[in-house]
Amino acid sequence: MSSAPQGALAEQINSTGFRRWHEYELARAFGYLGLGVLTIFVALAMLEGVFAAPVRLEGGIRLSLSFLGLCITGWAWLRFIKILVVAESISRQVICKQCQRYGLIRVLREELNQENLEHQMICQCKKCAHIWQLAYTLQYPDARI
């Protein structure tokens, strides 16, 4: 796998290609999921001996580390969801309407719509030169995250 894409989303897709960008984002998302699963097991293992600890200080340290592990788990879960939602939202829209080619795009322009905080990308098919617009957002009006 190649190194991490840098820069804006349009630059990442244009420099590495959509499929490599998507592959990288999925690997990154599932890396965060793996981190979350690992830290929840560590947090639960630390929590196991809290009340059986012979010294109260040791129990307090275990409880603090367990809480820290649960916080890391929550953070990793939110990162996983955010990355996955963006990658899958974009991947559903990269099919050329004219030639039905998937993922063979060049991003011409990327902009942010300030009204609804929606990111918009103007894309062009590399095969037939058809131009269309992609849109994705990270802001949902009723989101609790």
Segment 75-94, tens digit of pLDDT: 999 999 989 988 998 999 99
Range of the domain at 67: 9-137
Residue 143 within any structural domain of the chain: no
**Count: domains in the chain:** 1
Highest mean pLDDT pick, 41-50, 53-62, 76-85: 76-85
Residue 28 within any structural domain of the chain: yes
Residue 2 within any structural domain of the chain: no
Residue 3 within any structural domain of the chain: no
7 C-beta neighbours (distance < 10 Å), count: 9
Which of 134, 79, 104, 91 lies closest to 17 in space, CA to CA? 104
Task: Classify each residue of 38-74 as buried b or exposed e, where b means 16 or more C-beta atoms within 10 Å of its C-beta.
Answer: ebbebbeebbeebeeeeeeeeeeebbebbeebbebbe
Residue 4 within any structural domain of the chain: no
Residue 145 within any structural domain of the chain: no
pTM of the model: 0.78
Measured distance CA(89)–CA(108) in Å, rounded: 19
CB 139, CB 116: distance < 8 Å: yes
Residue 125 within any structural domain of the chain: yes
Segment 22-41, tens digit of pLDDT: 999 999 999 999 999 999 99
CB 133, CB 111: distance < 8 Å: no
Question: Tokens 């609804």 label which residue?
Answer: 116
